[in-house]
Amino acid sequence: MILTEFEWQTLLLSLKIAGAAIIFSLPLGILTAWILARCQFIGKSLFDSIVHLPLVLPPVVLGYLLLLTMGRHGIIGEWLNNYFHLSFSFNWQGAALASAVVAFPLMVRSIRLAIESIDSRLEKVARTLGTKPFRVFMTITLPLAFPGILMGTVLGFARCLGEFGATITFVSNIQGETRTIPLAMYTLLQIPDGESGALRLCIVSIVLSLIALFLSEMLNRWHKKKLTG
């Protein structure tokens, strides 16, 4: 199967956007998962609901909310543009932001379940021995939660690759800038003789997802073997 220049450009742009979305959202995802798994506070149920809201909201609604808040004239976007010259409107950074928002709950859920499965007594013992909380987190919690973090990363990455509604609503469908694989397939299906290109991109999407899941499983096995051996 030979991809055209348009399809290669779409593939590389999709990987770039999904990669950026995961890299910048992963630290926040780990922190959020740890808060939900280990902390008790007033309003936790509300916070949990807000974190997982993108799972149930239509992607178009998320895209519209991003447009209202992070657009060039949005509540936050206008301030970022005026003071930091940072804009998310109609560029790949905005597409990465939309993908990150949509994928964030999947990432958090996997990591949270991994942290909750860790025996909290291990962390308590380390703290009673004088280990600072941050060091406990870095040396005990994080390594033991690695499989869940890995799975959350893979699920988030795959979800970013498949994002459509929020992206097209927030940053439109611009060739070479925001047109990821789903948007390119949508475009190809609107033009005569575009089905073959859409089919090739469909196959590429399936292959990318299988590779991500395979690498995740291999890394997970390697990590378990390292811990036991």
- In a domain, residue 88? The reply is yes
Sequence-distant (≥ 6) Cβ neighbours of residue 83 within 8 angstroms = none
Domain that holds residue 32: 5-223
Within the chain, residue ranges assigned H as helices are: 5-38, 44-56, 59-70, 77-84, 92-116, 120-128, 133-136, 142-144, 146-161, 165-171, 181-188, 195-228
- In a domain, residue 229? The reply is no
- In a domain, residue 115? The reply is yes
CATH number at residue 183: 1.10.3720.10
- In a domain, residue 228? The reply is no
pLDDT in tens, 60-99: 999 999 999 999 899 999 999 999 989 999 999 999 999 9
- In a domain, residue 173? The reply is yes
- In a domain, residue 64? The reply is yes
Q: Which amino acid is at 165?
A: G
Residue 220 pLDDT exceeds 80:
no
pLDDT in tens, 99-136: 999 999 999 999 999 999 998 899 899 888 888 989 99
| Structural domain total, the chain | 1
Do 25 and 107 meet the contact criterion of CB atoms below 8 Å apart? Answer: yes
**Residue with structure tokens 């950026």?**
20
Sequence-distant (≥ 6) Cβ neighbours of residue 144 within 8 angstroms = 114, 118, 122
Task: Map residue 160 onto helix, strand or coil.
Answer: helix
pTM: 0.92
- In a domain, residue 187? The reply is yes
> What percentage of the chain exceeds 70 in pLDDT?
97
What is the reported pLDDT for 160? 94
Task: Map residue 180 onto helix, strand or coil.
Answer: coil
pLDDT in tens, 4-45: 899 999 999 999 999 999 999 999 999 999 999 999 999 999
pLDDT band at 156 (very low <50, low <70, confident <90, very high): very high
